Chains A and B, each alone.
Chain A
């Protein structure tokens, strides 16, 4: 009996599961998205990627949709989980392009998956606005896939931002010459350290300590104690979010006081500021924004209202901006993909991170370093950005 009930349940579940969605009569603009909802990258995606996709669709549909060839079309979002695996991502993009036949695709999450899906996205002619990935040799990619656009700039742009900030601090006499370096032994850390080390040397800094650690390392106390023993004036870590938190924590525990303390990805998260509270004062990190800018302010507010969570001071806004670029380009050029790619290439777009335009498919205006000041993450360095604050010396842990 139980078995029969179970079988009946199972069959109805399968029928329900396979039944096609009811086609709506209204004409919509179909947008596809594939990014991690499970797997190693799902935490990061849940913080900066998915909420912004949700917000963007909400914002557009609320104002009646997107204007395409004279008609107002609402957004119909088709979403898939790539399980943080390139294999799955490739399959999802294929499905979006050939089964769901979406009009446009929101580019995936992380450098690796963006690179793995680039050939496919290019084959179907979709514009690929990469807001969560970067690399050093972008020129080679763009040559191969001229429809890819990079909103985070080159890896070296980001990694050398802190060199400039330290130079500013040194010129003011607030920080000395000795730098301790740490980096995560993964794509990001290696690409960064590769370009950062020569830049530090060229700027006349003395690297007194250098170490790498494997991704996912739980105990980072040896990194901090090693750095502390070298008695540096500044500590720079090209780290991932969990390590950025752990390194900061360890530095406090070991009372490792430097005049400049920098962590990589994750330091610009609102949660980072909340976690460390007053202790965060003066900490430098990758990313940045002008938090006083009106566009960013109202974006931050509606992000909280629509998704229930705070956005960060960097990548989240860039993801949202990349979607704004896509929407504006579609409004300008229509549904024709090639025309939209062309419109993105040559246009200037008004977004939450200011005016965005591409030079050889790469954004040349970007924030590279920010600093926690009174509970807010202020951009202090960037390439041709407006509203950067002066960096200051970090006070001792208190």
Chain B
């Protein structure tokens, strides 16, 4: 590994400060804003985990809900028997194992098959869980009663997001990250230069899945009553993809800048237009695609580039001219 670049150092400090500030939230409020914070951080963790894999490889995965559900069930099934830390480890391992299975089955195939397979997989797992619960447990819901407060969950999720970030950053700097970027650009070339493409993808998919699983485990106490329908909710997968794409997946912090505005806008819509929310959400989507075709990061980089250009330095940023040309 090479030394740390000045820009990266700056990012690290900013990240550290932001993390410290964010972790103060539970001390300030216990009510709605904390709940909102939990949702925000949850999706921050999930989208970052998603883009760990999908960002560099450009494989769109709709399996977030499957990993999330597995994590939730890991806690629900053994809460009485094992300490919470162990349950989180189980959630991570189980999700990683599932990711390895999916990866081995589909990652040799091209992207489209992978998308469909991951979508179907969530449904399949949900049905298997439903079936086994009716078969063996004779009841559908599992209760998760813990002493965790909303603040505890928030802190855990925040730590998870930070961990996802650090791992992503380390991967980016490693040989694995380099290999993945080549795969994302052209898989055939990658194979020709001797990269074990399938293995690299599977390893990364496992890491990404494990983080999503941990997020599910942390959220289980908040659900209190775990049902397959709630735990394996396909909406989770879609939301994660939409938020990550809104942010942009070219940068590790991309999903993060997507999650925040998206969640805030959704919340405003839900509060202001409870009866027309679907229509307003649809309009909001159109607006987003129209105003931010290359995501928030694309927009930010474009603005930065324009600033630099006006100062007389820098080169043309890809994508910028096209956006402006449309007006």
Contact = CB atoms under 8 A, between A and B. Distances in A.
A74 B140 CA distance: 41
B222 A190 contact: no
Interface residues of A, number: 45
Nearest to A101: B31
B12 interface: no
Interface string B200-240: 00000000000000000001001111010110010100000
B272 interface: yes
Contacts of B225: 86, 111-112, 115-116
A190 B138 contact: yes
B235 A79 contact: no
B39 interface: yes
Contacts of A189: 134, 140
Contact of A3 (B274, B277, B326): B326
Contact of A97 (B31, B230, B326): B31
A201 B235 CA distance: 42
Interface string A1-41: 11110110010000001100000000000000000011010
B277 A116 contact: no
A3 B327 contact: yes
A194 B138 contact: yes
Given A10-B291, A119-B224, A214-B131, A81 B274 contact: yes
Chain B interface helix/strand/loop/mixed: helix
B327 A112 contact: no
Contacts of A358: none
B131 A38 contact: no
Interface in A67-107: 79-81, 83, 85-88, 90-91, 94-95, 97-99
B268 interface: yes
A147 to B, nearest CB: 16
Q: How large, as a class, is the contact surface on chain B?
A: 35 or more
A90 B143 CA distance: 16
A63 B32 CA distance: 34
A330 interface: no
Nearest to A118: B224
B103 to A, nearest CB: 27
A190 B133 contact: yes
B32 A99 contact: yes
Interface string A305-329: 0000000000000000000000000
B32 A91 contact: yes
Interface string B277-316: 1100000000100110000000000000000000000000
B172 interface: no
Nearest to A113: B225
